[in-house]
């Protein structure tokens, strides 16, 4: 038997809010008129849902989280914009997700099955994939694009418009100002690549043979003496049958507004790839 929808007497749910089956709204929450809470969403207490915000089925939101506030962006003119959160996300204490900018993308999107630890922040117009983990105090600038299964360690900070490829790992306190390739591991201020996220690759089920090919491709892509674009083209020809290599090459070819996070110069990419 499905549990009933319950609203604590101290909570404020504005007229027009859409609540699915089995939604639980705890004490002192505030839910906006334009909000949509799908089946099984739980707001534990002292949660604020603002604006046109959608929470997917089974999301759990902890106290002091504020979701859907207007963007911290002077270009926003006060027009409509949205926040869309996929199902089964866990959003811990003090987390903030902002809506999009009406003069830009207009929406912030968060995929399914994410874990957003206390006081992490997702800025306006970001696009976050599925199974993303943001540890305590990790933060994204506006328009950041975060792939599936990315892990941001505590206090990691991602610059606006930066792309982080799927299965990448950002170390604690990493200041990421350039795009991070899929499967990459970036650490430091300013962050540099320290090889591949080998632990993440193993968890994803990648075979030893595939990882060996990816390591070789990584070394060649970041070898000194030729441009990144030329190296990526050579890697594409050298490993035509590797889907992970194709992902990495496609990401490099999709350069947008930022430069790339690369290994520190002075040591070889091969040496750095031993990390992880």
Per residue in 128-144, pLDDT tens? 999 999 999 999 999 99
Are 150 and 204 contacting, i.e. CB atoms less than 8 angstroms apart? no
Q: What is the pLDDT of residue 1?
A: 61
Q: Which fold has domain 6-143?
A: UDP N-Acetylglucosamine Acyltransferase; domain 1 (2.160.10)
Per residue in 18-34, pLDDT tens? 999 999 999 999 999 99
Are 138 and 113 contacting, i.e. CB atoms less than 8 angstroms apart? no
Q: What count of other Cβ atoms lies within 10 Å of the Cβ of residue 276?
A: 15
Q: What is the pLDDT of residue 96?
A: 98
Bridge partners, 25 (sequence order): 7, 43
- Active-site residue list: 124-125, 142
Q: What is the pLDDT of residue 275?
A: 39
DSSP state letters, 168-230: -EE-TT-EE-SBB-TTEEEETTTTEEEEE-HHHHHHTT--HHHHHHHHHHHHHHT-TTS-HHH
Number of H helices, E strands in the chain: 5, 28
Peptide bond into 251 cis (omega under 30): no
Residue 133, both tokens: 């983990």
Per residue in 221-251, pLDDT tens? 999 999 999 999 999 999 999 999 999 999 9
What are the per-10-residue average pLDDT scores of the chain (276 residues)?
90 98 98 98 98 98 98 95 98 98 96 98 98 98 98 98 97 98 96 96 94 96 93 96 96 86 71 41
**C-alpha separations of 210 from 69, 215, 253 in Å:** 43, 9, 21
Give the DSSP H or E segment for 271. Answer: helix 269-272
Q: Taking the alpha carbons of 180, 213, 113, 102 in that order, is the dihedral positive or negative? A: positive
Q: What is the pLDDT of residue 242?
A: 96
Per residue in 256-272, pLDDT tens? 778 999 999 865 454 44
Model confidence, pTM: 0.94
Task: Give the β-pairing of 169-170 and 184-187.
Answer: parallel
Per domain, the residue ranges of the chain are: 6-143, 202-253
**What gap in Å lies between CA 119 and CA 188, rounded to an integer?**
21
């Amino acid at each position: 038997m499905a549990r009933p929808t319950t609203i604590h007497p101290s909570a404020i749910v504005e007229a027009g809010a859409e609540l699915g089956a089995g939604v639980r709204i705890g004490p002192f929450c505030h839910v906006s008129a334009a909000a949509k809470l799908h089946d099984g969403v739980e707001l534990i207490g002292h949660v604020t849902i603002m604006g046109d915000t959608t929470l997917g089925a089974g999301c759990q939101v902890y106290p002091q989280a504020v979701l859907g506030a207007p963007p911290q962006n002077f270009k926003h003119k006060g027009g409509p914009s949205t926040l869309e959160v996929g199902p089964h996300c866990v959003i811990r204490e003090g987390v903030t997700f902002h809506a999009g900018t009406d003069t830009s993308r207009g929406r912030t999107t968060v995929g399914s099955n994410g874990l957003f630890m206390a006081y992490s922040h997702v800025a306006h117009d970001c696009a976050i994939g599925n199974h993303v983990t943001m540890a305590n105090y990790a933060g994204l600038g506006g328009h950041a694009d975060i792939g599936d299964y990315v892990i941001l360690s505590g206090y990691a900070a991602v610059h606006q418009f930066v792309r982080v490829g799927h299965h990448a790992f950002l170390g604690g306190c990493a200041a990421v100002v350039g795009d991070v390739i899929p499967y990459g591991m970036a650490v430091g201020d300013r962050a540099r690549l320290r090889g591949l996220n080998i632990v993440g690759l193993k968890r994803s089920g990648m075979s030893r043979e595939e990882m060996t090919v990816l390591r070789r491709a990584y070394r060649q892509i970041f070898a000194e003496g030729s441009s990144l674009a030329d190296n990526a083209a050579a890697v594409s020809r050298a490993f035509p049958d590797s889907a992970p290599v194709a992902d990495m090459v496609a990401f490099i070819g999709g350069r947008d507004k930022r430069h790339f996070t690369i290994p520190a110069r002075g040591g070889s990419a091969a040496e750095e790839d031993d990390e992880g």
